[in-house]
Amino acid sequence: MSDWLWQSASELGRAIGDGRIDPVELTEAFLDAAAAHEHGPRIYARLTPERARAEAEGARLRAKNGVRRGLLDGVPVSWKDLFDTAGIVTEAGSMLLEGRVPDSDAEVVQRATRAGLVCLGKTHMSELAFSGLGLNPAFGGNIDPAPATPPNVNDPTRVAGGSSSGAATSVAFGLAAAGIGTDTGGSVRVPAAWNDLVGLKTTHGRLSLKGVVPLAESFDTVGPLCRTVEDCAELLAVLGGGKAADLHGASLQGRRFLVLEPYTSDVREAPGRGFAGALARLDKAGARIETGTVTGIEEAMGLSPVLFATEGYGWWRDVIEAAPEKMFPRILERFRGGADFSAPDFVAAWRRLRQLRQVWVAETAAYDAVLLPTAANLPPEIDRLMTDAEYYVTENLLTLRNTRVGNLMGLPGLTLPTGVASCGLMMLTAPRTEERLLRLGAAAEAALA
């Protein structure tokens, strides 16, 4: 059974369909592993064993009667703790929401449940999703980095990446077959990359946000963190109620990619090495790789403070200011930064961003995808983040710099492991082209392997 913990979600689903794995036994294996693991309490905010066992029993019965609902029927997954779950505490990693119990599941949770997926529990995350680091020292009511800060799979003294930190580590440590997270500025792709997983950021609006605790609704997206591109394709179909992308025959031969400067050269040594090695393997597989930039991308990046912080603070201001002492000061400062801008500033920034998005689409139309290192840095040290305020700010901004390109331009993005620990390759395609992105990702995955 221990081998089950390291198989992909799709492999487990096929084994259930073939009668080689019992969904109840599979669920118990993951529950036992999560309960016994030394880092389990730092990864899961709470397990949901009663719900998991009931859902697994249903999957067992369907498998026995030959009426499975799909490939992933009976496969256990984790959920970031900002997806509403009926009757189960959902606090979004914040003491501001302590004891919050929703009456119903988020729409994507409902879809997953109807498809037969098993909910193992809710995973830790950055406070209100407003950090790319995954450090959450305030959750639990005391400023202590340990309880709600999942460790990085490659070095437990470093952060896992955020804000979907527990979603990533639940998979990386073998405590879930897949994790479901959200991405507003990089929160699926960064933790996926830093824990050597595959992560899919969807186009804004592709998947429902109903019942998802918001950060900045104009940018919030839902996406899976998995072991394989196939798993991402299957979970996208489940969460969106559609059909999984056909990945058969995917090839890089003749595909044209743009390596985006300066975001690909201005990176630290290990991410740069991982990216260069990945490009060499894509080239060997027949890809055509060019280097260049896109007009206005730097201007768009400069709009980030007014767009993200202003919307986030506009949503959370009253809740935050009623009890600011409950927040980690670094996160509180980021939210309050949204008060520095006026309503006309916000409207003007969005108007300009829409124009720059049109420029992006026009100037990248000739390429199959844009390529960047997923993060320009490696996971920072937990202890130093706690004691060095300047280090926290600079590392958080650098962590999200590359991924934010996709959010600002409204694009789907996929991160793949490069073979260098905690270093990912990111692919960005045109809005609403997730299936095409996944086919490219499957071909790249084969080349990188």
Query: Which residues does the annotation mark as catalytic?
Result: 80, 163, 187
Identify the CA nearest to 127 among candidates 168, 153, 96: 96
Own/partner contacts of 147-150, CB < 8 Å, gap of 24 or more, are 147/41, 147/42, 148/42, 148/45, 148/93, 148/124, 149/42, 149/124, 149/382, 150/39, 150/42, 150/43, 150/123, 150/124
Structural contact between residues 287 and 252, judged by C-beta atoms closer than 8 angstroms: yes
Identify the CA nearest to 4 among candidates 56, 44, 48: 56
Q: What is the C-alpha separation between 449 and 427, in angstroms, rounded?
A: 16
Alpha helices in 285-388 (DSSP H): 297-302, 304, 310-322, 329-336, 343-364, 382-387
Q: What is the C-alpha separation between 346 and 349, in angstroms, rounded?
A: 5
Kindly state the tokens that stand for 435.
């299936």
Structural contact between residues 76 and 176, judged by C-beta atoms closer than 8 angstroms: yes
Instruction: State the CB neighbour count (10 A cutoff) for residue 432.
Output: 15
**What are residue 85's DSSP bridge partners?**
88
